[in-house]
Structure 1
């Protein structure tokens, strides 16, 4: 049996989410990142190399040898250069970038915990791709291919796991009070908008692969992910791209702003949609987000190429529906994918406007480091193409515990009780599907 490009029968993958969950739960392939994009699911595992960045140190590992050094400059450039020094030989890279990645570009490093991780990228030995043509396996041994074949076959038509109820309405973080503070700051002219979030700590350990499978069966994400990397486990159902740069160097971002509940029945959903598209607060919030995204893409694109499409469309994402737009431009010849990510990160719909003041408010009022929440899961091809999908609607777990997190966009017209309710609506995309370990 060949060790590369081994194709399995299409009928084995009628349920790709089940296949991905089973591969992750099998615990045979070391650390992994699973990433779903339209038409393709990739399970990348058993790293042969990695690039880790924290506030003070860069660590680069290749074939079990690690070098560590202090770093200076911008995180995007440091990561780009570190990947460029590795003998990738055509391999892809996968990983995550934390919200704190933005602190250097937005003059917010004073807020950082010295131990805060900024990014963790890995280069896998094994890639398993599931698409319309079946399953393609690269980098695996013959024995591993047999194991993968068996795992995927066994996953199909298996019953869905059962969730553990979670109380999402208890809030020890004082969310409504923090929203009221932000509204006062906005009305005093300090900034226009900020996204404040609240953390929901879980009283039990989570089966993250099973949570991914159950959640994916009940969500309609733009992208989804499942990972175990550097002591962090996470699974989520991303509503939007922070940034993508395709093989033709077209850079895209998808700002979402404006939210109502979804999935409560056709009549209720349509009434909520009508309210969403006519609510002045939501329209203003979305319009200034699109304006900001357009300006950011203009900073790295060829003049005349930035454009907005699908302006203020309604997109359904699990338990919520959003106002959404798409902004694109042609990346300038002297700019890289990492330059595009740096200017677009963090997503305007997860930080604030202006971004510098909004991010400062996030650090001050959210009260703790966000880490992967409102950061990005990333894929980088050897040609420089990149996707960075926004990490929202997710569950997180380390040895210290498991948690959920959700936020809402605060503007001058915001009411604290409504913004709290919005966080509950967003938590409804993940909380009902959390599976206890």
Structure 2
């Protein structure tokens, strides 16, 4: 995947990993870009079109893809956190239908595309005996900006005590002080992480790579929906007794248990809106998930879409992830707008969606972002009434350590 992404064959590309399957989507056959109030579409043999839209952004995406002049398609891309804002601004989504797809399963690569020349070039690249790149990383110092972050956590705890909301995720940005090689960072970071999903993308000059700990929404062709809220965090990776000790802390800490339980309850309530209520269920409640440098409490919440509902409805109901926004969501999203600068892709989603009605999306955390020669990391912590600024700051450091040691400078 890194070889394909770094080959220069396709300026725009997306790599998306699910358990047992890797996909590379290269080039642009069709494109849907969503800005606040405007949807831009580009399809084969049609003039590019920009048009205003009303209603919810998910509805604009659904209508844009419903009008695609293609008998079959798969699309890949990203959705910004502000997609869910009551007053959205900036770019909200960017998805492409690729010219070429490479799927790797069980050690075998399958290449498909609309242009035989693209397919041949990709096949030649896959067959070439090219040694793997082993560029050395330059770890990023994540222990910066602590005082400002602690002050924002204290402010959020005060808002919770005043009854403005129950929980809010407060995040902080860490700038990378050098140009980065995003593809090489993906290769280094993926070798050291155990994500639920991973991704590497370059669309319109915006690059990102990450190791998502959490499935935001997964919908299969039969309408079965699954989301995987993770909440409650402790460090992981110190080995033996240290990891066992932090695991026990995680499983017995009242603050962490409360944070997880209310997140699961919220996910259930969201699925009730779009699923047959009798089908909504929780499995694997509060099991520990090991994700790189941290471990979380995790559960799976599932259901079956109600008649007339689609994968876009499921995404709309679950977005943004409760574990990256807060409770209640509307109040938490509004609070985040006052506590932080625009998030963009952080706490948004990377999405793979198909004409069949299937959709898979990963919550964007543990990621590196790069645009206009500047790169940055970002991490947050869930703030509830029992939160302390020092502990929440340490949690952001633990999460940032899933990617900060693996950032590779641009040669």
Q: TM-score when scaled to structure 1?
A: 0.91
1:60 equivalent in alignment to 2:34: no
Cα-to-partner distance string for 1:214-266 (whole Å, 9 max, x where unaligned): 00000000000000012210000010111111122111110000000111112
Residue of structure 2 in register with 1:34 after alignment: 15
Residue of structure 2 in register with 1:118 after alignment: 92
1:146 deviates by 4.5
Q: How does 1:8-23 map to 2 (within 5 A)?
A: 20-23=1-4
Distance 1:425 1:155 in 2: 38
Q: Quick one: which of 39, 48, 51 aligns to 2:29?
A: 48
Contact kept in structure 2, 1:309 and 1:326, CA below 8 Å = yes
1:29 deviates by 1.8
1:286 deviates by 0.3
Q: How does 1:60-139 map to 2 (within 5 A)?
A: 60-63=41-44, 65-103=47-85, 108-109=86-87, 112-113=88-89, 116-132=90-106, 134-139=108-113
Any stretches of 5+ residues in structure 1 without a counterpart?
A: 1-19
Residue of structure 2 in register with 1:430 after alignment: 403
Q: How does 1:313-352 map to 2 (within 5 A)?
A: 313-352=287-326
1:173 deviates by 7.9
CA spacing shift, 1:155–1:267, aligned 2, 3 Å: farther
Q: Quick one: which of 225, 232, 257 aligns to 1:251?
A: 225
Residue of structure 2 in register with 1:309 after alignment: 283
Contact kept in structure 2, 1:53 and 1:117, CA below 8 Å = yes
Moved more, 57-66 or 257-266: 57-66
Residue of structure 1 in register with 2:177 after alignment: 203
Cα-to-partner distance string for 1:60-105 (whole Å, 9 max, x where unaligned): 11137311112211101111001110112211011111001111xx
Distance 1:173 1:26 in 2: 42
Aligned CA-pair RMSD: 1.5
Q: Quick one: which of 120, 123, 134 aligns to 1:160?
A: 134
Contact kept in structure 1, 2:133 and 2:184, CA below 8 Å = no
Residue of structure 1 in register with 2:359 after alignment: 386
Q: How does 1:284-299 map to 2 (within 5 A)?
A: 284-299=258-273
Contact kept in structure 2, 1:22 and 1:155, CA below 8 Å = no
Contact kept in structure 1, 2:195 and 2:292, CA below 8 Å = yes
1:205 deviates by 1.3
Distance 2:187 2:114 in 1: 24
Q: TM-score when scaled to structure 2?
A: 0.96
